[in-house]
Amino acid sequence: MSILEAIILGIIQGLTEFLPVSSSGHLELAKVILGDNSIPEESLLFTIIVHFATALSTLVIFRKEILEICSGLFKFQWNEETQFSFKIIVSMIPTVFIGLFFEEEIASLFGGQILLVGCMLLITALLLLLADKAKDTSKNVTFRNAIVVGISQAIAILPGISRSGATISTAVLLGIDRTKAAKFSFLMVVPLIVGKVIKDISSGEINSISTDITPMIIGFFAAFIAGLLACKWMIALVKKSKLIYFSVYCAIAGTIAIIYAF
């Protein structure tokens, strides 16, 4: 993997993990544009590294909230922060279930299936449009809402369905305060990313990979910095009801992908 490829893919991962345009969909599109041969076998290791980078950027942005959650857990207090942490755990259940029992089926959906990516991007565009038009958004996250948002996250495993777009849109459509919806969306994915990284490392699949570490380091920092910027930007945009811009973008990108597929 070249330095330029590492920078491009790192930035794509960092931006699209938080911006509602589908990180998996854009990475699939990037692979096609760069050519399958330009994304070598060490891509698994690279994917692990850039996903860890985006998880780390989330921890940095929400460090205060995470410390409050940890404080409540350690003190065994059933306060708002502790309840929030359990709601995040509840929201993970659908995705963990899908990941454990349908891993092979999910893997078969990736690998340059541009038509699928295009169609799913159009669905993402529709979700964002509906959320942008939502009016009553002043509620808190409940345990019932956490499950519903978690189901949206599980569906967003499909390449082209934006995870942040699906979860934030679902939360907003449920009437949840926009800022709280974005915060919940970004924090609920951190345990999943960390768990996936640990699973991939412990599986031993990357132990035999011999590769130049320089692109990996550069890709990590590209994803981390892009993630920091995208996370802050997305929170501000959701709060100001500016999801329509991403809806238009996803609609255009999805249409182009479908045309390209044919």
In 40-133, beta strands by DSSP E = none
21: closest CA among 228, 249, 255, 260? 249
The band of 41, judged by pLDDT with boundaries at 50, 70 and 90, is very low
Phi-psi region of 35 (alpha: psi -120 to 50; beta: other; left: phi over 0): left
123 pLDDT above the threshold of 90: yes
| Range from 39-48, 101-110, 136-145, 245-254 carrying the lowest mean pLDDT | 39-48
Report pLDDT for 40: 44
Give residue limits of the domains in the chain. 3-261
Report pLDDT for 149: 94
pLDDT digits (tens, 9 = 90+) for 204-235: 655 555 567 888 889 899 999 999 998 888 88
The C-alpha atoms of residue 224 and residue 63 are separated, in whole angstroms, by: 15
Task: Output the average pLDDT for the chain.
Answer: 82
101: closest CA among 159, 48, 154? 154
112 pLDDT above the threshold of 70: no
Burial 91-114 (b: 16+ CB within 10 A, else e): bbebbeebbeeeeeeeeebbeebb
The C-alpha atoms of residue 221 and residue 227 are separated, in whole angstroms, by: 9
- How many other β-carbons are positioned within 10 Å of the β-carbon of residue 2? 12
Residue 177 phi, psi (nearest 5): -50, 135
* Top mean-pLDDT range of 1-15, 108-122, 158-172: 158-172
30 pLDDT above the threshold of 90: no
pLDDT digits (tens, 9 = 90+) for 233-251: 888 888 777 788 889 999 9
- How many other β-carbons are positioned within 10 Å of the β-carbon of residue 119? 18
